[in-house]
Amino acid sequence: MRTYGFYILLMLTLFGCVKSNDDFLNRAPSNILLDEQVWKDEVLVLSVIANLYDRYPDYQTIENWSEFAAFDEAFASESGQYGRHKNQQYSYGAWGFWDYGYIRELNLFIEKCGKANQLKPETRERFLAEARYLRANVYFELVKRMGGVPLVLEPLTYDYKGDPGALQRPRQKESEIYDFVIKEMDAVMPALPDDANIKSRATKGLVLATKARAALYAASIAKYGATTPQVSLPGGEVGIPASMADGYYKAALAAAQQLINSGRYALYNKKPDNLSENFAALFYDKGGNSEVIFVKDFKLQSGKVEEWTLVNQPRSLAEEQQGGRLNPSLNLVQSFEKLDNTFAPYATNAAGGDYIYYDKPEDMFAGRDARLAGTVILPGTEFKSRKVDIWAGYILKDGSIVTANNFGGQAVVGGNRIQVVGFDGPIDNLEFSAQTGFYVRKYQDPAVGSGRIGTKSEVWWVRYRYAEVLLNAAEAAFELGDKNTAAGYLNQVRARAGLTTPLAAGEVTFDRIVHERKVELAFEGHQLWDMKRWRLAHVVWDGLAADLTTHPESARSASTRVFGLLPYRIYSPGTPQDGKWVFKKVIPSNVTSAHQFRLGNYYSFIGDDIRNNNPLVIKNPNQ
Amino acid sequence: MRNSLFIIIILLAASCKKDNYAAPGTSFKGRITYQGEAVNVSHGEVFFELWESGWGKRTPINVAVAQDGSFSSLLFDGTYQLVLPKGQGPYLTLPDAASHTDTTLLQLKGDRNMDIEVLPYYMIRNAKVSANGRQVAVTCKLEKIITDARAKNVERIMLYVNRTQFVDGINNIATQSMNGGDIQDPGNIALQVNVPAVNPVQASVFVRVGVKIEGVEDMIFSPVIEQKL
């Protein structure tokens, strides 16, 4: 009887559930927005495209500091990252990227936005153009890293009939992807605002800058790819025929000149009295910045903040018990030329072998390109209006060195116990100390609290800026044989750096162009792509443990290990040298291997899983 | 209740058999050779691929070639396709006699020993090492194997010394290089290098000579020679 009662109760309950009650199974979800709700409201569509903007791919960025230590620009002063300097080879999969999920969502956005007739037409066109810009940009990123890729321009849907063949596309030619990017830029331009004050959304200026960059990359791959015939595939998925170089260079120059001649942007020059400070401010000044074209923006107290300053602030002035991670290398620091347009490694020793004595540590770096102090925190200079404390120890009269192994450590010198090493180090193998003698300055936020874990920073990440457009124009003009135009653009960028003696047309060489990009665009995520497209990566990172080059002006100088330059004080009372400064070139003990960029690294490995799922995708060469 | 627990235990124990395969036990060994002589390469730099069809996914088994040109792999019996990928190794591959492609059909039924014949750009012959104090000197002969239109020049010759038997561009304590253009007589190449002190002290070091060929990434080496100091 009890069981019967139970069953009756159970049936009643079940019937109660399936009783004709439309509301129960047919409720509007309260945790997601449906398509028909989104596509009639401009504000909601904006938040959808904001998400797509947020997924814009970057390789080296201020949110990913350690990648800047992957090559020769910097040393990674953090225990967990020393391995970067102990590995010789880069894996074939390094810098790989294959995000067709993102592309699908962009395609879905484009498809739905095209049908959204409840939006104002001009708003809809702008959203559409932005999504198409972002899609073209992903393909640009893919082609930079992987070579030609399958070009999917509509959302693909599987029919569950067991044959995915209809979804499988072969890789396009490398040139075809570049052509697509260039063509898309022309197509989306009319619908985008021509407003230089918009920095974090697509504008006409951004489209022109992207077009110039993409065309320049394609052109240099066509031209310099001829020097590495092994880095190509017979179907053109990798490698661009040399005959196409001129056309791409012309397209790059035309796009760059269209942006330059529009007059919308200008080089940042708010602080002409201090060009180094001016160059540093270019990256953190977010108020009416005339140079910046496109950024990833951040905002305090919004949850969207970045911690570049937190992880890289000088240890002695740090607002937390950390900082000092990225140490620019002497390789980079010696590349900044002297104000008379000549190059010279730093002079540490006189011809006889004795040290060269400097009154102040910053004297070593005097008379150099203003961008040096704008990019790097040098010994003896200031950050947040306080002096950094970078010095490695005392050198006594007999040549012996007195130092300590903790920040600001003390020892007995001349009978007194005094500080014998800076509060920023350099102390070899001590993380957060300036193990190369330098800290990074670019993108560091001078605002109070930027180095605190609880506050962090809202300095933006600049993806496109006007100086790069000028350099792109200069490179394209140079390659087309128009050295006068090239010199004109180069000199604009150089004048802002305090190099007031203009380069004559005859002085513009390929090495000059390579060098100018290296010093202007350091720590901005250009290095790898530049070295790849010039096919210089396997030359400069050749795997041989050579000494630091004495020819920083030469594009082909090998630079496989990061070096440092440590300042020491002289302790020698009663002699004229007492209290003066000398420098020693060192190689941090954690730098044990010479980087080797293999031919198979030019285009990243496409995973076995990808090629299994789509057998039409062929492997990249030399892997 | 206790019964059902017992049944569950039995089921768990019984189901183990289903996904327990025997480990691969067929050995496939051999060397990369030129006219029967092993081609020496860098440690962990050169590999070739074995493909076995019939599985859901196609993923190659990469077989690494050891320093002395030898390789060995434990596999299941079956039919494999052996592919020497383009751009791997300091040699050109010879097309397979049967298929006239880069793919060799490989039948495995029980252990198999097979040398793979290739066409290296150069071979280093007669490497001889001598030591004077801590200075190690090497003489060798460089023989150009490919002399037709596919020939390539020597970029540099390297002498490597290491404290262990792994000696190449990554594993070394002393190196000396000679640019290809500086070679006077390829039949008589001499290089020497001072070996730094090693701690703990050891009585001998390992030495070999490598040649870097222009436009070819992987180097070709002489056999490793142990030299008493």
Residue A454 pLDDT: 93
Mean pLDDT, residues B190-200? 89
pLDDT of residue B97: 78
Q: Which of B51, B59, B158, B219 to mutate to test the interface with A (most CBs of A within 10 A)?
A: B59
The CATH fold assigned to B22-120 is Immunoglobulin-like (2.60.40)
Per-residue pLDDT reduced to its tens digit, B150-159: 899 999 999 9
In chain B, residues 160-189 whose CB comes closer than 8 Å to chain A: 169-170, 175, 177
User: Is there a contact between A217 and A195 (Cβ–Cβ < 8 Å)?
Assistant: no
Interface mutation vs chain B, best among A85, A599, A602, A606, most B CBs within 10 Å: A599
DSSP secondary-structure letter at A136? H
Does some domain include residue A408? yes
Two tokens, residue B56: 């859901």
Q: Which has more confidence, A90 or B215?
A: A90
Q: With a cut of 60, say whether residue B16 has pLDDT above it.
A: no
* 8 Å CB contact of A622 and B177: no
Is the distance from CB of A173 to CB of A235 less than 8 angstroms?
A: yes
Task: Write the residue in A89, A544, A622 that is nearest to B87 by C-beta.
Answer: A622
Q: Kindly write down the DSSP assignment for every residue of B10-64, as one continuous string.
A: HHHHHHGGGG-PPPP-EEEEEEEEETTEE-B--TTT-EEEEE--SSSS---EEEE
Residue with tokens 């890289």: A312
Q: Least CB-CB distance to B59: which of A88, A593, A608?
A: A608
Cβ-defined contact of B58 to A623 (cutoff 8 Å): no
Cα torsion A550, A552, A554, A560: sign: positive
**Is A190 within a domain?**
no
Share of chain A above pLDDT 90, in %: 88
State the average pLDDT over residues A586-606: 94
Lowest-pLDDT range of A65-79, B61-75, B99-113: B99-113
Q: C-alpha B87: how far from its chain's center?
A: 14
Q: Is A3 helix (H, G, I), strand (E, B) or coil?
A: helix
Per-residue pLDDT of A147-195, as tens digits, reads: 999 999 999 999 899 888 889 999 999 999 999 999 999 999 999 999 9
Angle at B59 between CA A537 and CA A175, to 5 degrees: 40
Q: Which of A598, A568, A62, A549 is nearest to A305 (CA)?
A: A62
Distance from CA of A315 to the nearest CA of B (A): 34
Residue B91: name the closest of B106, B102, B100 by CA.
Answer: B102
Q: Do A599 and B87 touch (CB under 8 A)?
A: yes
Which of A92, A232, A233, A544 to mutate: most B Cβ within 10 Å? A544
- Mark yes or no for CB contact A608/B60 under 8 Å: yes
Contact residues, chain B, for A596 at CB < 8 Å: 169
A401 occurs within a structural domain: yes
Taking contacts as CB-CB distances below 8 angstroms, the residues of chain B near A600 are 87, 217
For residue B56, what is the nearest residue in chain A, using CA coordinates?
A: A612
Return the pLDDT at A48: 95
Interface of B with A in 67-106 (CB under 8 A): 85-88
Instruction: Please report the ipTM that was assigned to this predicted complex.
Output: 0.81
H or E element that contains A123: helix A121-146
Give contacts of A235 with chain B, Cβ < 8 Å.
none
Calculate the average pLDDT of chain B: 87
3-state secondary structure of A67: helix
DSSP-derived secondary structure for chain B: -HHHHHHHHHHHHHHGGGG-PPPP-EEEEEEEEETTEE-B--TTT-EEEEE--SSSS---EEEEPPTTSEEEEEE-SEEEEEE--TT-SSEEEPPPTTTSSSEEEEEESS-EE--EEEEESEEEEEEEEEEETTEEEEEEEEEE---STT---EEEEEEEEESSS--SSSS-SEEEEEEGGG-S-TTSEEEEEEPPP-SS--SEEEEEEEEEETT--S-EEPPPEEEE-
CA–CA min distance B51, chain A (Å): 12
Distance of CA A530 to the CA centre of its chain: 11
Evaluate if residue A124 carries a pLDDT over 90: yes
Structure confidence at residue B56 as a pLDDT band (50, 70, 90): confident
Indicate the pairing of strand A564-571 with strand A394-396.
Answer: parallel
pLDDT at A19: 56
Give the residue from A494, A478, A498 showing the smallest Cα distance to A486.
Answer: A478
Alpha carbon distances (Å) from A180 to A185, A211, A233: 9, 10, 20
Q: Kindly report the length of chain A.
A: 623
Query: Higher-confidence residue: A321 or B57?
Result: A321
Which fold would CATH assign to domain B122-228? Immunoglobulin-like (2.60.40)
**Inter-chain touch B58–A622, beta carbons under 8 Å:** no
Judging contacts by C-beta atoms under 8 Å, the chain A residues touching residue B86 are: 621-622
Residue A163 lies in a domain: no
What's the angle, vertex CA A596, arms to CA A590 and CA A600, rounded to 5? 140
Residue A39 lies in a domain: no
Say yes or no: B150 contacts chain A, CB-CB below 8 A.
Answer: no
- The one-letter code for the residue type at A256 is A
Q: Which residues of B touch A599 (CB under 8 A)?
A: 87, 217
pLDDT for res A387 = 94
Mutate one of B55, B86, B121 to test the A interface: name it (highest A CB count within 10 A): B86
Summarize the confidence of residues B92-116 as an average pLDDT.
86
Other CB atoms closer than 10 Å to residue A583's CB: what's the count?
Answer: 24
A518: which 2 tokens?
């290296």
**Buried b or exposed e, range A539-573, using 16+ CB within 10 angstroms:** bbbbbbbeebbeebbebebbbbbbbbbbbbbbbbe
Instruction: Output the six-digit token pair for A443.
Output: 């993108």
Q: What H or E segment, with its residue span, contains residue A137?
A: helix A121-146
Residue B42, min C-alpha distance to chain A (Å) = 13
The residues of chain B that CATH labels 2.60.40.1120 are: 22-120
pLDDT at A18 over 70: no
Q: Which pLDDT belongs to residue B55? A: 77
Half-sphere exposure of B183 (CA within 13 A, CB side): 21
Inter-chain CB proximity B175 and A545 less than 8 Å: yes
Token pair belonging to A411: 């020892």
Both tokens of residue A46?
Answer: 């904006």
Residue A110: pLDDT band (50, 70, 90) is very high
- Check A609 against B177: CB less than 8 A apart: no
Looking at residue B93, its pLDDT comes to 86
Of the candidates B59, B170, B217, the beta carbon closest to that of A598 is on B217
Q: How far is A238 from chain B (nearest CA, A)?
A: 15
d(CA A393, CA A391): 6
The string of pLDDT tens digits covering residues A230-283 is 899 999 999 999 999 999 999 999 999 999 999 999 999 999 999 999 999 999
Look up residue A423 and give its DSSP letter.
B
The predicted model gives A456-480 an average pLDDT of 97
Question: If you measure CA to CA, which chain B residue comes closest to A539?
Answer: B215
Q: Which chain A residue has its CA at the smallest distance from B58's CA?
A: A612
Question: Contact at 8 Å (CB) between A145 and A117?
Answer: no
Rounded Cα distance between A620 and A603, Å, is: 6
Residue B21's pLDDT is what? 75
The tally of domains found in chain A comes to 1
Terminal alpha carbon distance of chain B:
76
Nearest to B201 by CA among B138, B134, B137, B136: B134
Residue of B52, B157, B170, B176 to mutate for A, most A C-beta atoms under 10 A: B170
Structural domain includes residue A414: yes
Question: Which residues numbered 51-70 in B keep a CB inside 8 Å of some CB on A?
Answer: 57-60
If pLDDT is split at 50, 70 and 90, which confidence band does A2 have?
low
Indicate if the pLDDT at residue A8 is higher than 80.
no
Q: Where in chain B is the domain with CATH 2.60.40.2060?
A: 122-228
Contacts of A556 in chain B (CB under 8 A): none
Rounded to a whole number of angstroms, the distance from the CA of B167 to the nearest CA of chain A is 14
pTM: 0.90
Whole-angstrom Cα distance, residue A317 to residue A78? 18
CB pairs under 8 A between A and B: 35
User: Rounded to a whole number, what is the distance in angstroms from the first to the last CA of chain A?
Assistant: 76
Asked if A544's CB is within 8 angstroms of B177's CB, the reply is: yes
pLDDT of residue A544: 86
Task: Please give the residue range of the domain that contains residue A368.
Answer: 329-434+561-588
B122-132 sheet: strands from edge to edge: B122-132, B135-144, B189-194
Do the chains contact at B85 and A600, CB–CB below 8 Å? no
- CA distances (Å), A528 to each of A70, A541, B184, in order? 9, 11, 38
- Mean pLDDT score, A84-102: 94
In a domain, A347, yes or no: yes
Alpha-carbon span A488 to B45, nearest angstrom: 47
Residue A421 forms part of a structural domain: yes
Enter the tokens of residue A32.
């997601």
Question: What whole-number distance in Å separates Cα of residue A309 and Cα of residue A77?
Answer: 14
B57, B175, B215 ranked by CB distance to A230: nearest: B215
Q: Chain A 29-88, CB below 8 Å of chain B: which residues?
A: 88
Residue A608 and residue B87: Cβ atoms within 8 Å?
no
Closest CA to B151 of B114, B120, B188: B120
- Pairwise CB contact (< 8 Å): B87 & A623: yes
